[in-house]
Amino acid sequence: MTKFTTKRVGRVYVHFLPHTRFRTKDLTIRLHIPLKRENVTQMALLPYMWMNGTTSKPTTREIMMAADDLYGTVVRSSLGKRGEYHIMEVGANIPDVSALTEEPVVEKALALVCEILLNHGPNTAAFSEESVRQEVDLHRRRIEAARDDKMGYALQSCLAEVASGTASALPRLGYLEDLKSMNSKVLYEAYQSLFHSAEIHAYLVGPYADADALSERIVERLSPVLAGETAAKMRVEPLPTGQRQSFRNVTEHQDVAQAQLDLGYRTGVNFSSESYPSMLMMNGILGGFAHSKLFLNVREKHSLAYSVWSHFDAMTGSLAVMTGIEPKQYQKALDIIEEQVQAIQRGAITDDEMDFTFRGLQNQYTVLLDQPSSLTSWHYNGVLCGEHRDIEQLLQQLSCVTKDEVVAAASQLEPSTIYFLTGEEDAK
């Protein structure tokens, strides 16, 4: 059900999965390159720049008009980060309007997406000085606005501390201080260097009548730009472990009404690891669900928080516990969270916790089958980690995880960082 067919020419891969259940045709093109301090900011700007105009559609407005004319096709470009890689994405969600029109909506959408990625010259549209000035200004605000979402900001800060010393710690959006040196030349060079080194994966999921022919056309369009160079295989590794035995405390003061307390661990396990299924179970029992230990103890039993979860990053293998509390409850919340981790480590796991967590994960992964974009992301996880997992196969593996394996996974939690974001006046 989730088997993609792949075509490959050099660094270009096209994966397709025709799916007649959907009304949305999902087309996604992703490029990944290693994060580097010296170019992280210019690379981060690129996907935003592309939407400012192409050679033949010199403004955002013209791009958006072309998309709206295709029955509200959503064209997008975005920037992601997985482990130590930057991910640039362009794509389209195309409504299946074959019953309403004979217009070649898919062909036109594909052409538009490729144009957004490929058709830019120096000093034209996206890379004009005016466009660069505008985008640098917007990017400054983007970086600043990330601080306004306190929960997200705290988690990112905590994860950066956990990854400290590795490329994974570099911020997705880059640095404010780099923005002053951005100009069209710097950015255009970054754009060209992206094509010299990136690995590129295109995805087609949905009710495509002619996915095979369409994937040929994607290869035709992309190959010339990427020809001649072979990139080294770029694969995500989990953060190394064996470096710490106790938490490092990091406290930040901001003017906030609610404090954020996040605990970060390294696990040494990621999507490609054999123990990935048992780590998923462990995370679920700890804090992935409303039946999990954290929710029941921190929230339901002690009313310390509205929100308390644990989050396991399938790429870096870092695990973060996050919660919003009253600043004066710091010690109590911390003690309760640590007690829950220790409980799993010593095997205090009930049959219900095992069963409910398995069933919860089963539900989460089965639901992915109903979502074209999730199927793409799932497959791409495999690309990044060099190990393709089938959803059905993972479900089978999860059903076999034993309590001992969950305890073993919990014993791999290596304490890294206690990150506390609290009010300017608050002392612990």
Partner 1 sequence: MTDSFVNSAEASQMQVIERTLDNGLTVCLIPKADFQQTFAMFATKYGSIDNEFELDGKPVRVPDGIAHFLEHKMFEDDEQEVFSQFAEHGASVNAFTTFDETAYYFSGTSDLRENIDTLLNFVQKIYLTDENVEKEKGIIAQEIRMGDDNPDRRVFMDLLSAMYAAHPVRIDIAGSVESIYQIDRETLLKCYHTFYHPSNMMLVIAGGFDPLQVMAWVTENQARKHFPDPVEIKRIYPVEPKEPKTDASTTVLPVSLSRCLIGWKDTVDGLAKGELLRRELLTGLVLDALFGKTTAFYGELLRDGLIDKAFSWEYELTDQYGYTVVGGNAPRPAELVDRVKTHVRDAVNRGIADEDFERARKKAIGRFLMSLDQVSYVARSYLTYRLRDADFLQTIEVLQSLQLEDANKRLKEHLSEEQMVVSTVLPKTEAAS
Residues that bind partner 1 (CB under 8 A): 21-24, 59-61, 64-65, 68-74, 93, 95-97, 100, 130, 134, 137-138, 141-142, 144-145, 147-151, 254-258, 289-291, 295-296, 299-300, 303-307, 324-326, 352, 355-357, 359-360, 362-364, 366-367, 369-372
Secondary structure of residue 119 in the 3-state scheme: coil
Task: Collect all residues with Cβ–Cβ distance below 8 Å to 215 and sequence separation of at least 6.
Answer: 7, 14, 16, 202, 204
Q: How long is the chain?
A: 428
Rounded Cα distance, 333 and 338, in Å? 9
- Judged by beta carbon, residue 268 or residue 327, the one nearer partner 1 is 327
Closest to partner 1 by CB, 77 vs 273, is 77
Closer CB to partner 1, 88 or 198, in the complex = 88
**Which residue, 316 or 357, is less far from partner 1 as judged by CB?**
357
CB of 320 to partner 1, least distance (A): 18
Q: Let me know if 232 is exposed, middle or buried by CB neighbors in 10 A (0-12, 13-18, 19+).
A: exposed
Q: State the residue for tokens 């640590």.
A: 338
321, 356, 325: which is closest to 342 by C-alpha? 321
- Alpha helix (H) residue ranges in 171-294: 184-197, 211-226, 276-283, 293-294
What is the arrangement of strands in the sheet containing 318-325, beginning at the earlier edge strand? 248-253, 414-422, 259-266, 318-325, 308-312
Q: How far is the CB of 347 from partner 1 (least distance, A)?
A: 20
Q: How far is the CB of 302 from partner 1 (least distance, A)?
A: 9
CA dist 257 and 424 (Å) reads 10
Partners of 263 in beta bridges:
321, 418
Q: Which residue number, 292 or 412, has a Cβ lying nearer to partner 1?
A: 292
Q: Which two tokens stand for residue 401?
A: 């995880």
Closer to partner 1 by CB, 256 or 384: give it: 256
Work out how close the CB of 91 gets to partner 1 at its nearest, in angstroms, rounded to a whole number.
Answer: 13
**Rg of the Cα atoms in the chain:** 23
Give whichever of 134 and 251 is closer to partner 1, judged by the CB atom.
134
Q: Which residues pair with 279 in a beta bridge?
A: none
Compute CA 347 distance to the chain's CA centroid, rounded to the nearest angstrom: 32
- The set of residues, in sequence order, having a beta carbon less than 8 Å from that of 425 and lying 6+ positions away, is none
Task: Please identify which residue in the block is written with the tokens 């120096």.
Answer: 122
The least distance separating partner 1 from the CB of residue 268, rounded to whole angstroms, comes to: 29
Residue 169: CB minimum distance to partner 1, A: 22
We find the least distance from the C-beta atom of residue 108 to partner 1, in angstroms, to be 13
Contact 28, 14 (CB under 8 A): no
Closest to partner 1 by CB, 296 vs 408, is: 296
The distance in angstroms from the start CA to the end CA of the chain is 52
Q: Cα(411)–Cα(415) distance, rounded to whole angstroms?
A: 11
In the bound complex, what is the minimum distance in angstroms from residue 396's beta carbon to partner 1?
15
Q: How far is the CB of 244 from partner 1 (least distance, A)?
A: 31
User: In Å, how far are 109, 219, 227, 380 from 13, measured between CA atoms?
Assistant: 19, 8, 13, 11
* 145 or 427: CB nearest partner 1: 145
Place of tokens 């192409």: 54
Nearest distance in Å: CB 148, partner 1: 5
